[in-house]
Structure 1
């Protein structure tokens, strides 16, 4: 099942780089993945089911990555978690490129942004002593959207920098922005 899923996800990502998801057929997907259509339907109802399960799997894996960090670790700095986030994106390059593609359905971008937002609002409030609610959450919305857009741009540019370089850039942008908000 894992090999089949990987082949289908890879083929789906390749097709999504060329066309909108609604224009992808099971026939062309299975042909590209070298999978029997019956095998596809044994695991998925349709293209959208494959896409949904792919998104859910990626979000669950991303959540696990975030869960690995305690508040105490985050208080020492964001660079380690940011580095892991960029390594995660590169490890899942094909799927991230397809799901974060500027022409793709923005649902995954929104889901990822919401997850980061929910996770960060409490942790960053403690780290930076900022009451985001009092400020209307504009700053946090900006930081989260910027962080996800940074990942999107990096994937679109073919991972032209190392995960460490991207983590350093994101860390600097986040810290400088949040520190400025305290003033």
Structure 2
């Protein structure tokens, strides 16, 4: 009996997540209602409230799950060499391909800006910290440089997602790493 309940809970949460992601494709989270989510999921509101406090709680839980999942995924590839930074970038992009709909919805203007900040922090952990430590950059400079670099990379990725992954992940990873490593001198090639 317990397994059946667990399966039912998992299914309910899955369908609620899919419903809110669908809605984020058309409207901002502030305009989404629990009633709309429940209509799309074909469940009643009392069922919704047994799982989540409100639609913001549901969105927050989705964001946390994605960030934790992405972190576990990237832990397998943690590296310290510059050439391997390209591999980490590829892995981040591959993860985003595998979770395209949800990532695109969460990074869209309709999602929460908190998710973008969480992704930036996670990315900084895996891409920037080793680079900063290896080059002896002071902590304050490191903070601003990593914000600058990762913000640019996030916006490139958002554009890539909006353009329906118009380039292979490997090519985009090379481009992003070239921008990071060469900066404006990339244009002089």
Please identify the structure whose Cα radius of gyration is greater.
2
The bucket for the TM-score relative to the shorter chain is 0.7 to 0.9
Give the superposition deviation at 1:162. 2.2
CA–CA separation in structure 1 for the residues paired with 2:136 and 2:182: 14
Match of 1:133 in 2: 139
Match of 1:89 in 2: 96
Gaps of 5+ in 1: none
| Residue 44 of structure 2 is aligned to residue 28 of structure 1 | no
**4+ residue stretches of structure 1 with deviation over 3 A?**
118-121, 134-138, 177-180
Alignment TM-score, normalising by the size of structure 2: 0.81
Alignment TM-score, normalising by the size of structure 1: 0.83
C-alpha contact 1:69 1:81 (8 A) present in aligned 2: yes
CA 1:140/1:32 → structure 2, altered by over 3 Å: closer, same or farther?
A: same
C-alpha contact 2:88 2:127 (8 A) present in aligned 1: no
CA–CA separation in structure 1 for the residues paired with 2:49 and 2:73: 31
Aligned pair count? 178
Match of 2:54 in 1: 46
C-alpha contact 1:121 1:132 (8 A) present in aligned 2: no
Match of 2:5 in 1: none
Match of 1:67 in 2: 75
Match of 2:177 in 1: 171
Give the superposition deviation at 1:135. 3.5
Q: Does 144-153 or 110-119 show the bigger shift?
A: 110-119
| Residue 159 of structure 2 is aligned to residue 161 of structure 1 | no
2:64 to 56, 72, 92: 56
Q: Per-residue displacement from partner, 1:46-97 (whole Å, max 9, x unpaired)?
A: 101100100100110111122212334x444222211111111122112111
Gaps of 5+ in 2: 1-8
Q: Does 48-57 or 85-94 show the bigger shift?
A: 85-94
Match of 2:106 in 1: 99
CA–CA separation in structure 2 for the residues paired with 1:152 and 1:120: 18
* 3-state SS of 2:27 partner: coil
